[in-house]
Amino acid sequence: MFDLAIIGAGPAGMAAAVEARALGLSVLVVDEQPAPGGQVFRAVEAAHGDAVLGAEYSAGLGLVESFRRSGATFRPGTTLWHLDPDAGELSLTPGGPAQARRVLLATGAQERPVPIAGWTLPGVMGMGAAQIMLKTAGAVPAGRVVLAGQGPLLWLLAVQLKRAGAAPVLVLETTPKGRLGAAFRAGGWFRGRALLLKGLGLLREARGLAVVRAVTGLRAEGAGRVQRVAWDGGSAACDTLLLHEGVVPATQVPLALGLEHAWDAAQQCWRPVVDDYGAASHDRVAVAGDGAGIGGWQAAVAAGQLAALDAAHRLGRLTAAGLAQRAAPVRRMHAEALALRPFLDALYAPSAAVLAPVDDQVMVCRCEEVTAGQVRAAARLGAQGPNQAKTFLRTGMGACQGRMCGATVARLIAEIRGVAPETVAPLRPRAPYKPLTVGQLAGL
Amino acid sequence: MYATRPEARPATVEVFVDGVAVMVPAGASAAAAVLLAGAAAIRETSISGAPRLPYCMMGVCFDCLAEVDGAPNVQACMVAVAPGMRISRQRGARHV
């Protein structure tokens, strides 16, 4: 029986493990990847010397090394497929179950799906995917690469590819005109100016790239693979099309647990409701990092530390006074790291067409190959939300278990019903959280 | 189609993608090996038979389901390459 089980060895999970170990807790950390780092510091132990990735990436090595030294039990390459928080029982594969008094979900984010025409064609990928190719294999897309979408990652990736001698032939930025003014009005830019300056540095380094701004009507075209990208008013040949419209919390496990969730209007997604220490609506579960709302890796480190302090307090290893005293500086760090969020959220708010594709022919469920038009038809027939749409269309019942289509299906149904998106209940995932074979199940 | 940067990460592990030998860096995933091999597809969907290549590379989209060393429906982006690994196209649903 561990004091604390942490799901995810990204910035939040690693920072929580280090803090919890320093407070004398026994800690188990589980991650699906072979090495710690999460997506932001993916494979940093192997790739920190690659200058193309930049100094901020390499700085993640320090956190990974602290985590390796922390004395936490680390089970890499391991998937959590069921969690019973009342019993503190974690079902893990491979390697069998584990028990913990408290569970911290630090499962991070996923890229927001970008359902456009042709996005299932081979050669169309997320920008995060291209970054993972760089981090884990040092590899870059060959041929004509086009980046389409918006967000800080777009410019980071554009610059990294440029440094690697594989600069994109074209950047199609979807941010509408007038957003910069809205972003400055949203506030936070002065307090968050360090991060803002970093972004400006990236923009400066990206100079010279061909950029089309305020792009709408994006679509991928080709026979058997992507050969062309088109938008309202233009088109270009391409071999690899990389899409990005920001990231959203990975809510599969918290939603499956039935944790209370709230609609995040700024980021247009659901996130688990947590208190100042990351404690969720179940009294043995906490959520920290991007999984509790997108804030970036520095905010995730602080949130992980706060969740660890809270765990120590709840397990009787830290007094209320000790908790308050230790939490204060971390809380300031957390607020500092989040300062630029209002600015970024206003600047890079996803357009309505990204959230609910206008074209009925666009495939929204990649696994079961269901189009936006089919979802709209099901909504007209009475499907009230994504949970009902499953019985109409099998959306959410394919291999990805709704990770790619759940939010889009809900949004399309909200549109047809004429209701606000937050009134449509999100897809309720079920265990196993990832598909298991009968053989795996039998072997457990 | 992807290319390695030998100056950053030399390709040292030999794997077989649809039977064709390809050298990839250690630490790459099976899905990365398929992209580096320049294969046209990693799977054909079980509904329409359409070709797919990996989309997310982080375990979310399940478009990289492939046969790895004979085991069907493996999330190829979640498996690191090993010398001699055989990665082949998943055609439709697995056979039970």
Contact call for A138 and B60, based on CB within 8 A: no
Contact call for A129 and B58, based on CB within 8 A: yes
Six token digits for residue A366: 């990649």
| Contact call for residues A225 and A118 (beta carbons, < 8 A) | no
User: Which helix (H) or strand (E) covers residue A99, if one does?
Assistant: strand A98-105
User: What secondary structure letter does DSSP report for A2?
Assistant: E
Six token digits for residue A233: 């008013």
Six token digits for residue A416: 């047809």
- B47 contact A CB<8A: yes
Helix axes A297-314, A320-338, angle to 10 degrees: 170
User: In angstroms, how far is CA B36 from the centroid of its own chain?
Assistant: 9
CB contacts of B61 in chain A (<8 Å) are 366, 400, 403-404
Residue B94: per-residue pLDDT: 74
| Nearest residue of B to residue A251, measured between CA atoms | B60
| Nearest residue of A to residue B71, measured between CA atoms | A437
Distance from CA of B10 to the nearest CA of A (A): 9
Contact call for B57 and A128, based on CB within 8 A: yes
Among A34, A141, A399, beta carbon nearest to B2 = A141
Give residue B64's identity as a one-letter amino acid code: C
Six token digits for residue A185: 């009005």
Distance from CA of A246 to the nearest CA of B (A): 13
Residue B1 above 60 pLDDT?
A: yes
Residue A289 above 60 pLDDT?
A: yes
Among B29, B48, B55, beta carbon nearest to A369 = B48
Distance from CA of B70 to the nearest CA of A (A): 14
Buried b (16+ CB within 10 A) or exposed e, B48-81: eebbbbbbbbbbbbbbbbbbbeeebbbbbbbbbb
Region class of A214: left (phi > 0), else alpha (psi between -120 and 50), else beta: left
ipTM of the complex: 0.97
Residue B92: per-residue pLDDT: 83
Among B3, B5, B45, beta carbon nearest to A369 = B45
Six token digits for residue A54: 């930049």
Six token digits for residue A32: 């699906």
* Residue B75: pLDDT band with limits 50, 70, 90: very high
Residues 6 or more apart in contact with residue A252 via CB below 8 angstroms: A107, A401, A403, A429, A433
Residue A207: phi and psi, rounded to 5, are: -55, 145
CB contacts of A122 in chain B (<8 Å) are 40-41, 51-53
Residue A299 above 60 pLDDT?
A: yes
Among B3, B29, B60, beta carbon nearest to A142 = B3
| Contact call for residues A44 and A60 (beta carbons, < 8 A) | yes
Q: What is the average pLDDT across B76-82?
A: 97
Residues 6 or more apart in contact with residue A188 via CB below 8 angstroms: A339, A340, A341, A342, A343
Contact call for B8 and A138, based on CB within 8 A: yes
User: Which residue, A107, A88, A95, is CA-closest to A4?
Assistant: A88
Residue A442: per-residue pLDDT: 78
User: In angstroms, how far is CA A226 from the centroid of its own chain?
Assistant: 25
**% of chain A at pLDDT higher than 90:** 97
Residue A444: per-residue pLDDT: 56
Q: What is the average pLDDT across A252-266?
A: 97
Mutate to test the interface with B, among A136, A153, A248, A365 (most CBs of B within 10 A): A136
| Contact call for residues B68 and B46 (beta carbons, < 8 A) | no
Six token digits for residue A21: 């170990």
* Length of chain A counted residue by residue: 444
Residues 6 or more apart in contact with residue B17 via CB below 8 angstroms: B33, B34, B37, B39, B87, B88
Residue A273 CA to residue A255 CA, distance in Å, equals: 11
- B78 contact A CB<8A: yes
CB contacts of B54 in chain A (<8 Å) are 125, 129
Q: What is the average pLDDT across A322-348?
A: 97
Distance from CA of A242 to the nearest CA of B (A): 9
Q: Give per-residue pLDDT as tens, A17-29.
A: 999 999 999 999 9
Q: What is the average pLDDT across A308-316?
A: 98
| Contact call for residues B14 and B38 (beta carbons, < 8 A) | no
Which whole-number Å values give the CA distances from A328 to A108, A123, A136, A322, A331, in the listed order? 24, 47, 37, 10, 5
Residue A321 sits at the vertex; the CA angle it makes with A320 and A322, to the nearest 5 degrees, is: 90
Residue A12 above 80 pLDDT?
A: yes
Give residue for tokens 């899409």: A243
Residue A125 CA to residue A148 CA, distance in Å, equals: 10
User: Which helix (H) or strand (E) covers residue A155, if one does?
Assistant: helix A152-163
Domains of chain B in sequence order: 12-91 (3.10.20.30)
Six token digits for residue A296: 């970036």
Q: Give per-residue pLDDT as tens, A100-143.
A: 999 999 999 999 999 999 999 999 999 999 999 999 999 999 99
| Nearest residue of A to residue B47, measured between CA atoms | A368
| Contact call for residues A276 and A331 (beta carbons, < 8 A) | yes
Contact call for A137 and B59, based on CB within 8 A: no
Residue B28 CA to residue B35 CA, distance in Å, equals: 11
- B32 contact A CB<8A: yes
Among B24, B50, B52, beta carbon nearest to A137 = B24
Give residue A237's identity as a one-letter amino acid code: A
Half-sphere exposure of A263 (CA within 13 A, CB side): 12
User: Which residue, A274, A260, A256, A292, is CA-closest to A10?
Assistant: A292
* Length of chain B counted residue by residue: 96
Which 3 state secondary structure label does DSSP give A251?
A: coil
Neighbours of A145 (CB within 10 A): 23
Q: What global pTM score does this model have?
A: 0.97
